């Protein structure tokens, strides 16, 4: 058993996976001369710059590993001097552009931008009842996974031989993979809850769940951020959480919607579990990301409570199962309008609360809000992220659907989701 665990945790398996999909790393010691490998376009630059044909004749993109890029404005080709934690310079040739973008997109399915699009879209255009329950489970996956990482403190795959192509999460630990937890737990919970409410094609739905999970999990291997053990453990961990939480999900949802003191209880509990998050040996994005996720979930919950409290929610005329009816052309246009308007307002909400809360929290703690290092302090980072995304959650579930109703662009069945 221990031999199997050690085998699955081997960084050489990850390096071989990267090699299969066209990643060719070269490592040199810090003291040696820098390898003269040109960096045509880094991942960040590629997103905003067109590829030049003369730079891509061989379908090779040269990228770097783990640190900021040095720019040379006089030369369109960049020379990279990248040092990793082992004091090695890493230059990376990407031989297959398709897999590069494919797996980067897969990794984005577990990042903030995906959640900021997925949950509002589901609340405004699909089914709020399923959205709030899936959001609760999402919060469970992420909190349990992130906390486990910072308790076990198991490092990410060693580099070399692995090349890490993603910088944001390098400071976090690796086991278990929270991307893998969400890639399995989120679609499975969505499938189970939808299957109990709608007539859906089960084989096709299962195929979509498996495909999504494999895509995201493989992206973590491609980017060099996790071992196979991290990914497998993440998938199994999310299934365990589902088995434990699913039986009590309906009673929890009923309490949140119906009990007079549920807003106070869930808000306080949400903040406390963030406050007692495991102490970090070194700062990483884990605690802030956890506060963001829990704040969003609590916001969704209290927003749903307000919908019910003001009498907006009522049971549908017929019990499930319901047939899925696709919208008309006008329905599609209204859905696009709701999504665009809502996302713009969410962005405004985010910017307002981030600026206001940062200045306010730094003021009461007598700290300089212009110093970015102060945002890493727990007394700033925790309420700053928690309250900002709590406001976003409330607006997503309550304020903006109410605005859509006033503008007469709401979903026909928006409030039939008890």
pTM: 0.81
Specify the residue for token string 């973008």: 101
Which of these is catalytic: 85, 95, 104, 179?
A: 179
Q: Where are the domains of the chain?
A: 23-95, 104-406
Phi, psi of 63 (to 5 degrees): -125, 170
Active site residue 69: no
Each residue's pLDDT expressed in tens, for the chain with a length of 418 residues: 788 888 888 889 999 999 998 888 776 554 444 433 333 433 433 333 333 333 344 444 444 444 444 444 333 333 333 344 444 445 678 888 899 999 999 999 888 888 889 999 999 998 888 999 999 999 999 999 999 988 898 888 887 888 888 877 777 888 999 999 999 999 999 999 999 888 888 999 999 999 999 999 999 999 999 999 999 999 999 999 999 999 999 999 999 999 999 999 999 999 999 999 888 777 777 888 899 999 999 999 999 999 998 888 877 777 788 888 888 899 899 999 999 999 999 999 999 999 999 999 998 988 887 888 888 888 888 999 999 999 999 999 999 999 999 999 888 766 666 6
Dig out the tokens for 43 from the structure.
Answer: 């991942």
Q: Which of 104, 226, 259, 325 is catalytic?
A: 226
Task: Assess whether 179 carries a catalytic annotation.
Answer: yes
Closest by CA to 152, choosing from 182, 179, 169, 177, is 177
> 249-287: string of b/e by CB count within 10 Å (b at 16+)?
beeebebbbeeeebbeebbeebbeebeebbebeeebbbb
The tokens of 104 are what?
Answer: 């980067």
Going by C-alpha positions, the residue among 356, 364, 391, 361 that lies closest to residue 375 is 361
């Amino acid at each position: 058993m221990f031999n199997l665990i050690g085998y699955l945790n081997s960084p050489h398996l990850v390096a071989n996976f990267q090699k299969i999909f066209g990643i060719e790393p070269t490592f040199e010691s810090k003291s040696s001369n820098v390898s003269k490998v040109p960096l045509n376009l880094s991942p960040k630059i590629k997103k905003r710059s067109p590829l030049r044909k003369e730079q891509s004749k061989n379908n090779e993109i040269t990228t770097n590993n783990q640190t900021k890029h040095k720019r040379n404005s006089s030369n369109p080709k960049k020379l990279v001097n990248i040092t990793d934690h082992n004091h090695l310079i890493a230059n990376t040739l990407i031989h297959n552009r398709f897999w590069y973008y494919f797996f980067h997109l897969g990794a984005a399915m577990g990042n903030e931008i995906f959640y900021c699009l997925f949950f509002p879209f589901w609340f405004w255009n699909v089914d709020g009842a399923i959205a709030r329950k899936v959001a609760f489970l999402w919060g469970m996956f992420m909190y349990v996974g992130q906390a486990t990482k910072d308790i076990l403190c198991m490092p990410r795959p060693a580099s070399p031989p692995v090349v890490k192509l993603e910088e944001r999460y390098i400071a976090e630990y690796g086991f278990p993979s929270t991307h893998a937890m969400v890639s399995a737990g989120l679609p499975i919970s969505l499938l189970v809850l939808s299957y109990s409410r709608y007539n859906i094609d089960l084989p096709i739905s299962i195929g979509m769940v498996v495909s999504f999970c494999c895509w995201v999990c493989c992206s973590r291997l491609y980017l060099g951020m996790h071992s196979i053990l991290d990914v497998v453990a993440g998938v199994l961990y999310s299934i365990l959480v589902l088995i434990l939480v699913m039986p009590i999900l309906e009673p929890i949802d009923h309490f949140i919607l119906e009990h007079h003191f549920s807003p106070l209880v869930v808000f306080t509990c949400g903040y406390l579990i963030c406050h007692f998050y495991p102490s970090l040996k070194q700062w990483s994005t884990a605690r802030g990301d956890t506060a963001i996720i829990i704040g969003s979930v609590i916001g969704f919950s209290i927003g749903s409570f307000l919908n019910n409290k003001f009498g907006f929610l009522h049971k549908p005329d017929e019990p499930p199962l319901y047939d899925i009816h696709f919208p008309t052309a006008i329905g599609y246009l209204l859905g696009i309008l709701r999504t665009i308007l809502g996302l713009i307002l969410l962005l405004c909400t985010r910017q307002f609360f981030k600026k206001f809360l940062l200045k306010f929290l730094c003021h009461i703690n007598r700290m300089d809000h212009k110093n970015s290092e102060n945002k890493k302090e727990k007394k700033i980072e925790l309420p700053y992220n928690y309250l900002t995304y709590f406001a976003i959650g409330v607006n997503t579930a309550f304020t903006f659907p109410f605005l859509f109703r006033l503008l007469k662009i709401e979903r026909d069945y928006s409030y039939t989701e008890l």
